[in-house]
Chains A and B, each alone.
Chain A
Amino acid sequence: MILEQLVNGLTQGAVYALLALGFTMIFGTLRMVTFAHGEVYMIGAYVGFEVIRLISPNFFLALAAALAATALLGIIIEILAFHFLRDAPHSTSLLVTIGVSIVLVNATQLLWGPETLALPHALLDRMDYGEVEIGGVYITYFQVLVMGVTVLLMLILYFFINRTRLGMVIRATAQDYEAAYAMGVNVDLVFMVAFAVGSMLGGVAGVLVGVYYNLFYPTMGGLYGLKAFSAAVVGGLTSLPGAVVSGLMIGVVETFTVELGTSSLRHMVSFLLMILILIFRPSGLFRGKELVRVRGD
């Protein structure tokens, strides 16, 4: 029983981790917080939904479509909120992303209606919805898929950031974008790539969650995005491994609070954790470099 809950928690946490990775990618390079990430995730889910419904019940096709759509969306948001406002105070960009998120939710409501959509079961059955037994624990095929895709993406991201030339350029820009610019790096392009990659991670998470629970609604990004955001803060906002660990942690803790019979506390866990972290250890649980100086009083 506990093991099964652990698997459930890890599945949930894997999704938070994916979203938190997106936040971290974006904050790490641009040093700016985006509040439209939850909505990027929601758009990814809707794109996946439409692909499965209209084209074919192929999960990977849906993923690919969502990747393309959210990358594009990420680039648009980057141009709107960050490219034009590079010299403006941070709060300005933040307000734009809040505006974009409101517009996206309401545009979705206009296009698809405010009600909750679900894929017909005939389609889901064709997507092979079985379960396997590992050491007495039943794990659905989809949980394996969610975790498999998450781990795969994390590995790809790890190699992309640490082993490729573009990854190196991103790291250099994250460290000091003026110095990188002076060395001939096309900083604008790097920001755009970082934002697109971050958004794609969000889009994948959207498809995974949407199909896993088979629920699609315009406000699905709100709470999820904010929770993943707190996971990113708990992880330190600039550390990719930190985002993964704290995402998984929040997923597991959440599942166990439900198990302990305090389901009303479920959604609060992540926010309380974030506030506690902000108060007691603002550089995150997994202290890397201190990026924002903490001033003594």
Chain B
Amino acid sequence: MPKPVRELLANSPCLAILIGLILVPQIVSNLYVLQVMSFMGIYVMLALSLNLLNGYLGLLSIGHAAFYGIGAYSSAKLVMEAGFPFLAAMLGAGAVSGFFGYFIARPTLRLSGIYMTLATLGFNMVLFLVLQNWMSFTNGPLGIMNIPGPVILGWKVDSRADYYYLMIILVVLTLVSMRRLMNSRFGRALVAIRENELAAEAAGVHTTRYKVQAFVLSSFYAGVAGSFYAHFVKFISPDSFYIYESFVLLAMLALGGQGNLIGPVVGACCLIVIPEVFRFLQEYRMFVYGGILVVMMLFRRQGILGGRDYSLRLPWFQEKPRQVYLRGDKFLPEEEQTPSLGG
């Protein structure tokens, strides 16, 4: 079988899910369902971006909503005041987020992990207070209203279904790019740092540089999610980016499991759907999130999906791993092969 066909067949479960998701607006005419699903997409993106740090890298960021907020505000500002087209504003929002991520990560990531955790918390608080008090720029607690909907190369995103499709595109891009990233040298280096930082460094991984890069990337994704949020809801206020929002993301990772790509998706979907389905829970939403954090950490730290990396590929179409020759030309059995960090 030629390689592209084999790839396609191996990925058929993913494709089936994707086609199912694309068909949803054709079958479901309920706008509310589409709206909830778009929200789910935002949180899937956010959870995945946080997963890059908390899951793959093993650091703990507890102020991730800050980057989400920076993305939302900068995108709104870029479109409304600088007159950027939507796509440029979305990338710009990600870049601004990434810049702030660098600004926080560069000095603190040299230190032991807890300092970065504290810095993210402090940054989230400072950002919230800035958004709330800088009246002339952010309009304070009143927030920014009437943010225009996105227009992408002539496609005017207007109806709920349009937004839903845009969200699907973003989520697929996020997932595909993250998977490629995590299977590359970069991803393996992150996992190596998580497993044993000293050993990774001894093996030639520039740990600080990789950590900072991961932080910036994670902020970038969060910024893009924030940009979509701003143009989707059309109204942003500081309250949406308070530290509680970061805690919700932590609860999603705790529930679904982290360090793989499926866990955060499942966690985000569950925590968005549960309060919507059980309406009486709406009032106790945060209560449930807090409880989930405590219970999951005490009884099932690896999340409901466990610590394994679930793959949605059909195994019988997958390529066999290349044989590695080491020590001259002698072929070594698999268990004796030195794991290689190169990608």
Interface residues, chain A, with chain B CB atoms under 8 Å away = 33, 80, 84-85, 88-92, 94-96, 98-103, 105-107, 110, 222, 226, 229-230, 233, 264-265, 267-268, 271-272, 274-275, 278-280, 282, 292-297
Taking a contact as CB atoms under 8 Å apart, the answer to whether B286 and A95 are in contact is: no
Residues in chain A near residue B286, CB distance under 8 A: 102, 105-106
B299 and chain A: residue at smallest CB distance:
A84
Interface residues, chain B, with chain A CB atoms under 8 Å away = 54, 58, 60, 62, 104, 107-108, 110-115, 117-119, 121-123, 125-126, 129-130, 133, 208, 243-244, 247, 250-251, 254, 284, 286-287, 289-294, 297-298, 301
Interchain CA distance A84-B108 in the complex, whole Å: 30
Interchain CA distance A264-B21 in the complex, whole Å: 46
| Residue from A99, A265, A296 with most neighbouring chain B CB atoms (10 Å) | A99
Residues in chain A near residue B292, CB distance under 8 A: 99
Give 10 CB contacts A-B under 8 Å: A84-B298, A91-B60, A94-B62, A98-B250, A103-B290, A265-B133, A274-B118, A292-B111, A292-B115, A295-B112
Residues in chain A near residue B117, CB distance under 8 A: 33, 91, 94
Residues in chain A near residue B298, CB distance under 8 A: 80, 84-85, 96
How far, in Å, is A285 (CB) from chain B's closest CB?
A: 15
Residues in chain B near residue A110, CB distance under 8 A: 284, 287
Number of inter-chain CB pairs below 8 Å: 127
Choice from B118, B121, B123, B291 contacting A103 with Cβ under 8 Å: B291
Interchain CA distance A278-B63 in the complex, whole Å: 15
With A275-B126, A278-B108 given, is the CB distance from A233 to B118 under 8 Å?
yes
Residues in chain A near residue B60, CB distance under 8 A: 90-91, 94-95
Interchain CA distance A274-B119 in the complex, whole Å: 8
Taking a contact as CB atoms under 8 Å apart, the answer to whether B111 and A278 are in contact is: yes
With A264-B133, A268-B130 given, is the CB distance from A278 to B118 under 8 Å?
yes
Taking a contact as CB atoms under 8 Å apart, the answer to whether B119 and A278 are in contact is: yes
**What is the interface of chain A mostly: helix, strand, loop, or mixed?**
helix
Taking a contact as CB atoms under 8 Å apart, the answer to whether A80 and B294 are in contact is: yes
Taking a contact as CB atoms under 8 Å apart, the answer to whether B293 and A102 are in contact is: yes
Taking a contact as CB atoms under 8 Å apart, the answer to whether B126 and A88 are in contact is: no
Interchain CA distance A100-B113 in the complex, whole Å: 22
Residues in chain B near residue A275, CB distance under 8 A: 104, 119, 122-123, 126
Interchain CA distance A92-B298 in the complex, whole Å: 8
With A100-B294, A275-B123, A282-B115 given, is the CB distance from A295 to B110 under 8 Å?
yes
Taking a contact as CB atoms under 8 Å apart, the answer to whether B114 and A279 are in contact is: no
Taking a contact as CB atoms under 8 Å apart, the answer to whether A98 and B293 are in contact is: yes
Taking a contact as CB atoms under 8 Å apart, the answer to whether B133 and A279 are in contact is: no
Interchain CA distance A91-B301 in the complex, whole Å: 11
Residues in chain A near residue B243, CB distance under 8 A: 222, 226
Taking a contact as CB atoms under 8 Å apart, the answer to whether A98 and B247 are in contact is: yes
**The 6 nearest A-B residue pairs measured at CB:** A102-B290, A99-B293, A264-B133, A99-B294, A106-B287, A103-B290
Taking a contact as CB atoms under 8 Å apart, the answer to whether B62 and A98 are in contact is: yes
Choice from B104, B110, B297 contacting A92 with Cβ under 8 Å: B297
Residues in chain A near residue B293, CB distance under 8 A: 95-96, 98-99, 102
B135 and chain A: residue at smallest CB distance:
A264
With A90-B114, A274-B122 given, is the CB distance from A268 to B129 under 8 Å?
yes
Interchain CA distance A65-B315 in the complex, whole Å: 63
Taking a contact as CB atoms under 8 Å apart, the answer to whether B129 and A271 are in contact is: yes
Taking a contact as CB atoms under 8 Å apart, the answer to whether A294 and B125 are in contact is: no
Choice from A80, A102, A233 contacting B247 with Cβ under 8 Å: A102
Residues in chain B near residue A91, CB distance under 8 A: 54, 58, 60, 113, 117
